[in-house]
Amino acid sequence: MKIPPLPFTLTDWSTVPATEHPGVTGKALWRTFTIGDLRVRSVEYTPGYLADHWCDRGHVLYVLEGELDTELKDGRRFTLTPGMSYQVSDNGDAAHRSSTKSGAKLFIVD
């Protein structure tokens, strides 16, 4: 990930409109700041959320609240709690999808 030329920028996430992204179950609410190929998001997954796809995009993901379950396509599973993160590269061998039983709030850069 390379951050494109960008002046010092503050983001008040409470003023960024949320977009809804349904999962197989539940939904994700994204508040997104994009510049060039860089996307920064504040994401909230509702309780019972299960992603509707395997993702192979690289991310830096940080859990702010709740509990996030991440499944890799090869069968490995990880549970992240507040203060934990994961980092994964684009198009690597770690296609992944997210779910949560109780809901989660995340900060994601990709």
- At 37-55, the pLDDT tens digits run 899 999 999 999 999 999 9
The predicted model scores a pTM of 0.92
Residue 8: pLDDT band (50, 70, 90) is very high
Contacts 24+ apart (CB under 8 A), 28-33: 33/9
pLDDT given for residue 7 in this prediction: 87
Compute φ and ψ for 15, nearest 5 degrees.
Answer: -100, -5
User: What is the third-level CATH fold of 18-109?
Assistant: Jelly Rolls (2.60.120)
pLDDT given for residue 65 in this prediction: 98
List the chain domain ranges.
18-109
pLDDT given for residue 50 in this prediction: 98
Burial of 28 (0-12, 13-18, 19+ CB in 10 A): buried
